[in-house]
Structure 1
Amino acid sequence: MSFDFDATVVGAGAVGLACGRALSKRGLTVLVLEKEAMIGQGVSSRNSEVIHAGLYYPTGSLKAKFCVQGRRLLYDFLDSRKVDYKKCGKLVVATEEAEIPRIEAILEQGRINDVEGLELISGSEAMKLEPQLNVAAAIKSPESGVFDSHGYMLALEGEIEAGGGAVVTSAPFLGAEPVQGGGFKVRVGGEGATEVTSRLLVTASGLSAQKVAAAIEGYPADDIPIGHYGKGIYFRLSGPAPFERLIYPPPIPGALGTHYRKDLGGQGVFGPDLVYVETEDYSVDPNKAQEFADYIRRFWPGVRAEALAADYAGIRPKLHGAGQPQPDFQLHGASAHGIEGLMALFGIESPGLTSSMAIGEAVAKELLADS
């Protein structure tokens, strides 16, 4: 049977585009469908734009593997495509003596995860690097950075199109039906509503992952994990940025906690916090500035609540609720759901952006293993 496309990817965020690029560079014609009017308008555009080194994630987890691999691939890709980034480094700080064992455990996990260049430094050494810090000790991570995530996604889109593929926006995925003998009929909505055929199908749809999987005929309901919305807000600092490096306190349950970055424009940004919500609510309550300031003061005593301006919010596609253990990325192939040629991705939250190229490579290798 001939197909309109070799592969169709649902979702034009960083992970979907990276999957499309990985398939395209293997010679496949790729269609990427995006329900929004532009690429990268969901989870991928509402994050910290941080390149994570890979310190925190459990030994042998996909998060640990893909973060380290993805970060190395990402820096190489950004260099080769002239996408803006800054490898500014990160300090994971213990703000009091009681927190030092926590960051020592993070240091050990980072080394197990094969993160390069990690070093435990004293509070005085950390303050020589960042004089405004309140710090008892810190992990110095030279591989961490910040980057232009939208420029990155545009570069991925360009590679897909250069390979003969297409990234189509305002084109919501309505459903898919496996075809006898292999492949899929894919229903596409929007003004140009149509049906296309595709040999392979990848769902990388972030917050819509569960809904998209349920719209594939024959997808077993018991293979669709329950999803949760983890909202985080950000505040932007008026005035000079206090630190050159990323500053992270020890993680909170379910997230890395409210941290600091100096963005590529030179401004200081703090966030995100974590609140579980039921809907995609992207409002930011300016009255939370004092709460943010109280938290930030632990590592930056000089913060003033009146210097924090409400900025933006993001929602992470979590697979756990409040108080529950944080699970790994989930990449469900035929061994999980029984549908050949389909890869469904769930729970791709942080460090999903850093991991995106490694996730794309893993998806392409598994889908093409039997080709």
Structure 2
Amino acid sequence: GLAIAERFSKKYDCVIVAEKEPSFGRHTSSRNSEVMHSGIYYPQDSLKAKLCVKGNEMLYSFLKEHEIGHRNCGKLIIATKDEEISILEELLLNGTKNGVKGLEILSEKKVKELEPLFKTKGALRVPSTGIMDTHCVMKKLDFIAEENGAMISYNTEVVGIEKTDDGYIITFSDGFKVKSPIVINAAGLWADKVSEMVGIPAEEHNYTIHLCKGEYYKTTKYKDIEHLVYPVPDPTGISLGIHIRINLNGELSFGPNAYYVNELDYGMDETYHKEFHESVSEYLDIDFEEIWQDDSGIRPKLQNKGEGFRDFIIENEKDKGFPNFINLIGIESPGLTCCLAIAEYVENLIDREK
């Protein structure tokens, strides 16, 4: 939402962002690994693949231009069994087709030279992956948008959207209303509900969001790991596996796991402690007592339990009778990496004749 506001504020005289929370990034945007992904995992020609590769480049440029904390640390996807090497080769091929540069398979010896602590049979090196200060990214987008004249209205919840002959009337929880020819639904965990407000039933159009929780555990045992380190991805496609998350201070944590929930609750579930320890122990020596609860987040997934890959939905809903109502639904990972590319994509969806 902030990335779209920042881009649109440069071309439109009146841009309003309605945010129901008292500040930005209270949910998915700040409860994640703060990773700039490369685009290796996603099917060729999917929006996730195209926007991730482009967004990665755009985001690095943005971070450098505005001197925002980040590090191009790279990522190692490690195989802990011989049979996993073929999975790395498939990822390399898929990533290359998607336009990801610099991918290479490393031998066990080479991985040990880079990261001697890990149990591995080899790894896929992904040099374009990095980490960043997501709070500062959001703060800068907010600042630029407002500097350009956009209005960022916090504590402002949308409760109704009515289509008119020449646009939409948006009603807020305090009863205030505004009229706009363009509405962009970037409501994250609530995007399906906002879409329904205008008259697009989520179930009928396969827009239903499923809440998928991910938790992180942290440790102080290790502080000398230079790369992000991931296992081979979960074959169900629900997550990328419990991996090593490092921040700009060098602090280490593990996660996220993935399980579906029925309500928004960021509390940690201690029953997953054993699962975390077992997963991490496959590639790193660590005792059960040396990891403990850190934080959690919730993904707005279109893919329900047991279902296959689902791409982002980024649509001008004119074919459903709602011109210039732009839906962004299921913007989970790699949505943060894609944010600037998504903003550009959304701009190109606007029908200027309406």
Give the letter aligned to residue 299 of structure 2: R
CA offsets 1:157-197 (integer angstroms, 9 cap, x no match): 111101111111110111111221x221111125xx41112
Structure 1 runs not aligned, ≥5 long: 1-15
CA contact (8 A) 1:238 1:309 kept: no
- Partner residue, 1:3: none
Q: Structure 1 residues 61, 28: closer, same or farther in 2, change over 3 A?
A: farther
Residue deviations 1:272-302 (CA, integer Å, cap 9, x gap): 00111111121112353332111111111x1
Which residue pairs with 1:5 in the alignment? Answer: none
Q: CA deviation at 1:336?
A: 4.3
Corresponding residue for residue 297 of structure 1: 281
Match of 2:14 in 1: 29
1:10 equivalent in structure 2: none
Tell me, what secondary structure is at the counterpart of 1:42? coil
Residue in 1 aligned with 2:301? 318
Matching residue within 194, 203, 210 for 1:212: 194
Counterpart in the other structure of 2:227: 245
Contact 1:242–1:268 under 8 Å retained in 2: no
TM-score by length of 1: 0.91
Q: How has the CA–CA distance of structure 1 residues 369 and 55 changed in structure 2, closer, same or farther, with 3 Å as cutoff?
A: farther
CA deviations on 1:302-355 (whole Å, 9 max, x unpaired) are 112211120111110111211110210011213443211210111110000001
Using the TM superposition, name which of 26-35 and 219-228 deviates more: 219-228
Partner of 1:359: 342
- Amino acid of the structure 1 residue aligned with 2:257: D
Give 1:369 shift. 4.7
The count of residues paired between Structure 1 and Structure 2 equals: 351
Q: Which residue of 1 aligns with 2:263?
A: 279
Gaps of 5+ in 2: none
Conserved? CA contact 1:78–1:85, under 8 Å:
yes
Which residue of 2 is the match for residue 143 of structure 1? 128
The question of whether the paired residues in 1 share the 8 Å contact of 2:318 and 2:325 is answered with no
2:85 maps to amino acid: I
How big is the shift at 1:29?
2.1
Aligned to 1:13: none
Aligned-pair identity in percent equals 36
**Equivalent position amino acid for 1:331 in 2:** I
Superimposed CA distance per residue, residues 9-48 of structure 1 (whole angstroms, 9 cap, x where no aligned partner): xxxxxxx111111211223421001111111111111111
Q: Which runs of 4+ in 1 moved over 6 A?
A: none
Aligned residues: CA RMSD: 1.4
Equivalent residue, structure 1, for 2:323: 340
Residues 268-277 or 288-297, more deviating? 288-297
| One-letter amino acid of the structure 2 residue matched with residue 70 of structure 1 | G
1:189 and 2:170 correspond? no
Please report how far the alpha carbon of residue 224 of structure 1 lies from its aligned counterpart in structure 2 after TM superposition: 5.3
Q: Is the 8 A contact 2:317 2:327 kept in 1?
A: no
Q: CA deviation at 1:266?
A: 1.4
Relative to the length of structure 2, the TM-score reads 0.96
Counterpart in 2 of 1:8? none
SS in structure 2 of the partner of residue 215 of structure 1: helix
The separation in 2 between residues aligned to 1:22 and 1:323, in whole angstroms, is 37
Corresponding letter in the other structure for 2:256:
P
Quick one: distance in 2 between partners of 1:328 and 1:152?
A: 24
Residue in 2 aligned with 1:42? 27
For 1:85, the equivalent position in structure 2 comes to: 70
